Each structure stands twice: as C-alpha cells, then as structure tokens.
Amino acid sequence: MSTLDMIREYGHEEVYFVNNEKAGLKAIIAVHSTKLGPALGGCRLWPYQNEEEALFDVLRLSRGMSFKNAAAGLPLGGGKGVIIADPSQKTDALFEAFGEAVEKLGGRYLTAEDVNTDTHDADIMLRTTSHVVGRADVSGDPSPMTAIGVFDGIRATAKFVYGTDELKGMKIAVQGLGKVGLDVAEQLHAAGAELIVCNRSNRKVMEKVVGEYGAKEVAMDEIYGVDCDIFAPCALGAIVNYETIPQFKCKAIAGAANNQILDDACGVALKQRGIAYAPDFIINGGGVINAGQEAFTTYDKEKVLAQVHNIYNTVYGILEESKASGEPEGVIAQRFAENRIRNGL
C-alpha cells in the first residue's frame, strides 16, 4: 500500500514529513482531524526500524487521538508527532527543531510529551513554538492522570466481569512499567491485587516492583499466556493480535497502551473468546483530559479529576452495551467517538 493510500485509509487531513539535517531531526506529524478543534497529541520519540514503521504508528496514534479527545468530550481534534531516534540521541537542538516544525502548522497541531519525552523536552519546544500543552508550569506531566483513569477503568472492568470493583486478591498482569505502567502497578498493589509483571528494560524499576510489591516477574514473551484475572497492557500497541489472542488466560483486558488491538478482525476474535475489553482510547484518556484543558480554558485540577474519574462510568457503559448487542467493545467506542466528531460535542 502506498503512503497516500495509507493516509486516505485512516482518513487524515494532513501528514508532514520533517527532515532537519542540522539538528539531526527526522520526524512525522500527522493531523487526523480538526473538526472539533486543534489536533492535540503528544510527541513520541522511538527508534523505529524505518520510516514505514514510523508512519504506520503515527497514523494509528493520531486517529486514536481524534477518538480519545472526542470521547472525553474535549473540543479538540486528533494528531500525533513521532521523532525517529533512540532516546540516547536526545538533544536540545532536536526538540527546538521539532518545535519549529510544529510552529509552521500555525496552531492546527498542539503537541505535548509522550513516550520517551517529558516536560523538560516540552519546555525546550516552547523556545520555538507556543503550541505546546502539558507544560511543567501548568498541568505538568500527564502520566499520573492517565494512570488514575486506567486504574478506575480496571476497577470498572472488574465490576463488570467479576461483580466487584474491589481488586484485593485479583491476579493482574501488567505489561510495561514505564511512567504510566509503574503508577498503575503501584495503585493496583495498594488495592491488594497480586501482580505479574514484565518490562523491556530498566532493572531498577523491576526490582522495585518485585521487591516492594511482591510482584512475579515473567519474560516479555510469556506475559500473554499467564494465568490471571485481568491483563493490563501498558507498553506499545497492537499486542492483541492473531498470535497472542489464543494465548490469553484472562477474562478481561484493560490497560494504558494505545491501539492495543491490531485490527477489527482481532477485536471480533477477542469477543468470540469471551474476553472483555476496555477500549484503549477510553480508559487511557486521563492524560489528554489533563493536558487538553490548557488548550481552551484555565487549568482546574479538581475539574480534571472529576472528568478523569468518570472514565469508570464510560468503560462500564461500553462493556454493558457490548454484552447487550454482541458487538466488540472497540466498535462501540469508535462509533461513540465518531458520532461526536460528526455531530459536534
């Protein structure tokens, strides 16, 4: 499939390829929709194998941001930026150049921190563009709010599947212990859950979770087949796929990762296996609710928390509708978001 065909398939308005040789920047900015407002989505830095892999990721992520922002009731469209680099290659010049690229879009795209970027990097972008949210001096790192929403979504999923949102004694497998995954693990431990965890890197974090929370560590490729009550993917996307679906030994999937299900057919297959799914762009919306408020009103933490805690109700409602209709949860969630985009909030 050609690049233009991919862009058309996902329904994007604009996609920009950025090459700043002086700064060493290779990046892609994808603007999926601006119907509800400026396209908001973070800047991810990742060592993609090639430009095709980066394009596939940014197209899926930016479309997901359109759905996430609409489902959260935000007057914002969806976009995303990806920088093709290893985290060890971070420089001020890299983020200044990315900021310049954002500035050229004239406010149609609002950026923020994301995987392998943080509030310090966002502050550097502010040297060359004003179109940055999630600023350290305003709403700050969105990860804690994302984790709160994910934890509430896990509780709602447990209530639907097991009849209780008390997590004490439940076995929950957490894939990925980054900023959000670690925070989710901490909340699950505090709630009395038994943790099974894996992480691609950072032994210190793993030692903390195993030593302090009594978690059981498993290898990255073993996490899909562990015997657990809920599987919580908190790393990268497309982990619910043709290879992993037969391995799952859980009754529910609810976690922080974006684009967890590879394609619609995998969503159907998961439903056929009787595994409940908390749609990713619903359950992980806390961070964008937090950062997005900077874009259109004065930041109010209490108001943000109220919106984030409502993720519990949204997740539970989608699970109930899926049970009643037989449709996959992801289909219901996407239709909900698309209707909001089409008809306005």
**56-82: average pLDDT:** 95
- Measured between alpha carbons, how far is residue 115 from residues 109, 112, 154, 178, 181 in Å? 18, 10, 22, 9, 12
Does the pLDDT at position 1 exceed 80? no
**H or E element at residue 30:** strand 25-33
The domain locations on the chain are 3-63+78-125, 143-284+312-343
**96-142 residue pLDDT tens:** 999 999 999 999 999 999 889 999 999 999 999 999 998 888 888 88
**141-169 residue pLDDT tens:** 889 999 999 999 999 999 999 999 999 99
Contacts (Cβ under 8 Å, ≥6 apart) of 330: 261, 264, 267, 277, 279
Q: What is the mean pLDDT of the chain?
A: 95
| Closest to 247 in 3D by CA, of 265, 273, 267, 268 | 273
DSSP 280-329: HHHHTTHHHHHHHHHHHS---HHHHHHHHHTHHHHHHHHHHHHHHH---H
Q: What's the predicted TM-score (pTM) here?
A: 0.89
- For the question of residue 80 being annotated catalytic, the response is yes
Higher pLDDT, 274 or 201: 274
Q: What is the pLDDT of residue 202?
A: 86
Domains 3-63+78-125 and 143-284+312-343 are alike in CATH topology: yes
Specify the fold of 143-284+312-343: Rossmann fold (3.40.50)
Cα–Cα distance measured from residue 110 to residue 112, given in angstroms and rounded to the nearest whole number? 7
Quick one: 3-63+78-125 is in which CATH superfamily?
Answer: Leucine Dehydrogenase, chain A, domain 1 (3.40.50.10860)
Does the pLDDT at position 345 exceed 80? no
Question: Catalytic residue among 26, 80, 179, 271, which?
Answer: 80
Pairing of strands 171-175, 230-233: parallel
